[in-house]
Amino acid sequence: MTTQQPESLQLADALERRLPHDAYELRVQTEAAAELRRLSDVERALEMQGKALRRLSEHNAKLERINAQLLEALEALLWYVGQLEMIVYSADDTGEHEEVTKARAAIAAAKGEA
């Protein structure tokens, strides 16, 4: 299986194979070929970074979906705990259980309200 070179590298090779007419032309050809190779390297690096960014974006979307599910479950559980508290504690109990306070703070943070 052969992989075709990018056009910039093909042009760089062509410039280096061409016989120059004078020292100035040789210098220009050499510099142009080097710049084409440098730009090709930059392009490859950007392509790799783009792929990595896409993978991170996909992972982030997955974590956001999971976070939404966890938030929904925590809100439902907190409602259920509230129902149980009305049964278990007497009417003159005041305040909120520490774990309930933590759960409410976590919900607020997940919603961007904290």
pLDDT tens string 61-96: 999 999 999 999 999 998 988 888 777 765 556 667
Give a yes or no: residue 35 inside a domain. Answer: yes
The larger pLDDT score, comparing residue 2 to residue 70, is at 70
For residue 95, the enclosing domain spans 7-110
Three-state SS for 49? helix
User: How many separate domains does the chain show?
Assistant: 1
Give a yes or no: residue 51 inside a domain. Answer: yes
Cβ(37)–Cβ(6) under 8 Å? no
Predicted local confidence at residue 93, as pLDDT: 65
Give a yes or no: residue 90 inside a domain. Answer: yes
Give a yes or no: residue 56 inside a domain. Answer: yes
Supply the DSSP symbol for 71.
H
Give a yes or no: residue 13 inside a domain. Answer: yes
Compute the 3-state secondary structure of the chain and give helix, strand, coil in percent, each to the nearest 5.
80, 0, 20
Q: What is the pLDDT of residues 17-40, one digit of tens each?
A: 888 889 999 999 999 999 999 999
Supply the DSSP symbol for 40.
H
What contacts 106, CB < 8 A, 6 or more positions away? Answer: 74
pTM of the model: 0.61
